[in-house]
Amino acid sequence: MRNPESSFIQRMHQGGIMPIFFHPDEKTSLELLDLAYESGIRVIEMVNRGKEAPTIFPAIRKRAEQLEGLYLGAGTIYHPHEAEQFVDMGAEFMVSPVMNQKLGEYCQRIDLPWVPGCATLTEIFLAQELGCELAKIYPANVLTPDFIPAVHAVLPRMEIIPTGGVEPTKENMHAWLDAGACCLGMGSQLLNKKLIQDGNFAQLKSTIQNALQILHDYRAQ
């Protein structure tokens, strides 16, 4: 970790892998939350990508309170009014696909961890100026792992989480971890939509556990 004194960074680094998900059915969302937790996940981003999200998030929050050590954030947040809505529902951190200065100022004002989506060094610098400790590079598969050491060369304390196209495979995960990623954000690559649709939760659990094992083995080297 480049910023080990930050409790937020500690929790994100310890979590290692952050599943990113949303499902319009509350029951399915709760099942996915339980599945992820049982598989060893300890940090989750539920994204605000459907009209049902504001009604499902409170149920997710309530269940999360029963799962010791689970850290729950809200994602796909663009504006302060959206962040305020999810803060009121118990979101512990905010994730955005973009670098919105107004959103950063709001999160800084209420001392809420904020992870903005950035694709340039300038965006990451502006985020850092607003108190951001962890920037999401997005889309990660376009920027590639080489982007992270380039950032660290000039912003050495900024932590990075790649999101978008990160795969739960040894080759891909090692590439990002070797580059200096603090943790890894994974959406449909980890929580496959077809497997969810088919109710194949056994395969989903196996995928998550395998990814966490890859992470554990890497860090044990």
**CATH number of residue 63's parent domain:** 3.20.20.70
Q: What's the chain's length in residues?
A: 221
The total of other beta-carbon atoms located within 10 Å of residue 46's CB is 27
Q: Tell me, what's the pLDDT at 212? A: 98
Tell me if 124 is assigned to some domain. Answer: yes
Tell me if 1 is assigned to some domain. Answer: no
Residue ranges, the chain, pLDDT below 70? none
Q: Tell me, what's the pLDDT at 1? A: 86
Question: Which of helix, strand or coil describes residue 118?
Answer: strand
Q: How many domains does the chain have?
A: 1
Question: Which of helix, strand or coil describes residue 134?
Answer: strand
Tell me if 157 is assigned to some domain. Answer: yes
Tell me if 66 is assigned to some domain. Answer: yes
**Domain region containing 105:** 7-215
Tell me if 221 is assigned to some domain. Answer: no
Residues 6+ apart with CB under 8 A from 171: none
